Amino acid sequence: MPRYPYPVMPPPRKKSSLLWLWITLGVLGGVTLLGCGICGVFGYLGVSLVQSDTVQAPTRVTLYYQSLQTMDYTKAYTYVSPGASFSITQDDGNTTQISDEETFTSAAQSADQQLGSIESSSPRLVSLNNTVAKIAVTVTRTNKVYVVHLTLNKINGSWKIVEADGI
């Protein structure tokens, strides 16, 4: 009888390469890490990609009053819509209508002289819909504390003051 050699183990199967899986996972991980890094930098710098109108409208009013506080009337007027209606009643009962930057500046300077400079302002959102915000602002001046009622309209994506009963 012929002798057969001992049974030989078959050669091991060649493992299929998972290189494609590692490349895919690496790319996804890199994109995720990059996205998280960008969001982290924006968060650290205080950049908000989406800011709600409940924040934007009062912020515009705060910037308006900060400009008035520093007596930068030209900058303050940039927060006012062209053709805005300011009807300001003085303590003596006279009403001033403000229709342009010149009368606005004159009224603001007059208020600074009569009531003292603005020391602080505290806006409070009264009502808000898609395009109209009503804000009440407590204004503290050297000689008087009073409330101003402002109406803002969203014009071309930016809030502008369209009505006010004081400065």
Q: What does the pLDDT look like over 16-74, one tens digit per residue?
A: 778 888 899 999 999 999 988 888 887 777 655 545 666 788 899 999 999 999 999 99
**Mean pLDDT of all residues belonging to the chain:** 85
- Count, residues in the chain: 167
- Give the model's pLDDT for residue 54: 62
Of the pLDDT bands very low, low, confident and very high (cuts 50, 70, 90), residue 91 is: low
d(CA 8, CA 21) in angstroms, rounded, equals: 34
Q: Does residue 9 carry a pLDDT above 60?
A: yes
d(CA 151, CA 56) in angstroms, rounded, equals: 14
Burial annotation 61-89 (CB, 10 A radius, 16+ → b, else e): bbebbebbbeeebeebbebbbeebebebe
Q: Which residue has the higher pLDDT, 162 or 86?
A: 162
Using an 8 Å Cβ cutoff, are 130 and 141 in contact? no
Q: Which residue has the higher pLDDT, 56 or 132?
A: 132
Task: Tell me the pTM.
Answer: 0.66
Mean pLDDT, residues 102-130 taken together: 90
Burial of residue 108 (CB within 10 Å: 0-12, 13-18, 19+) is: buried
d(CA 32, CA 35) in angstroms, rounded, equals: 5
Helix (H, G, I), strand (E, B) or coil at 84: strand
| DSSP designation for 16 | P
Chain-centroid distance, C-alpha 15: 57
Q: Does residue 163 carry a pLDDT above 80?
A: yes
